[in-house]
Amino acid sequence: MDYDKIYDSLVLVILESSFGIMLMMMGGVEALVPLKEPFIEKVKVTLVEMVDSSEFKTALQKGLNAQKISTDLVIKIESVIDKRLSELTPQLVKEMVQTIIQEHLGWLVVWGGVIGGLLGGLFSFLF
């Protein structure tokens, strides 16, 4: 872990807060340099304590269980889709496509015929 980055982020937060002006009057960022090592050591100890806590382990286990649950769900969905696909017959697919064409593309057939007829008549008249 990059503890220096954590320290630098803390210093940046202090500088951007209302304490930033006070820090500048006390010597600026250099005034915090003696606190860097004790801060990093304290962060290390705190992180170890947090990772070793039962709450962290419980939360980690719940996260792992959630991943397992989502994997199980994906497997179940795949099996349902595979089952439905295996039930499809060529005749059923043909009927489904015909139904879709009748419901959604009927107007396209009509207007295609009308426009095609008009263009054919126009071209036969011109040529």
Q: Which residue has the tokens 């697919």?
A: 93
Domain count, the chain: 3
Asked whether residue 46 falls in the same domain as residue 58, the answer is no
Q: 58 with 68, same domain?
A: yes
Structure tokens at 14: 């202090």
Taking each helix axis as running N to C, give the angle between helix 36-52 and helix 54-87, from 0 to 180 degrees, rounded to the nearest 10.
60
pLDDT in the model for residue 92: 87
Confidence at residue 122, expressed as pLDDT on a 0 to 100 scale: 92
Residues 3, 44 share a domain: yes
Same domain, 72 and 33: no
Q: How far apart are CA 112 and CA 54, in angstroms?
A: 70
Task: Express each pLDDT in 9-33 by its tens digit.
Answer: 989 998 898 888 888 888 888 888 8
What's the pLDDT score for residue 90? 86
The boundaries of the domain holding residue 62 are 53-87
47 and 11 in a common domain: yes
Q: How many Å apart are CA 73 and CA 81, to the nearest integer?
A: 12
- Residue 47 makes CB contacts below 8 A (sequence gap 6+) with 1
Residues 81 and 99 in one domain: no
Same domain for 28 and 1: yes
Within this chain, do residues 44 and 64 fall inside the same structural domain, yes or no? no
Tell whether the model's pLDDT for residue 1 goes beyond 90.
Answer: no
Over residues 59-86, the pLDDT tens digits come to 888 777 777 777 787 888 899 988 888 8
100 pLDDT band (50/70/90 cuts)?
Answer: confident
Instruction: Write the DSSP symbol of residue 17.
Output: S
pLDDT reported for residue 120: 94
Q: Regarding predicted confidence, which is higher, 61 or 45?
A: 45
pTM of the model as a whole: 0.45
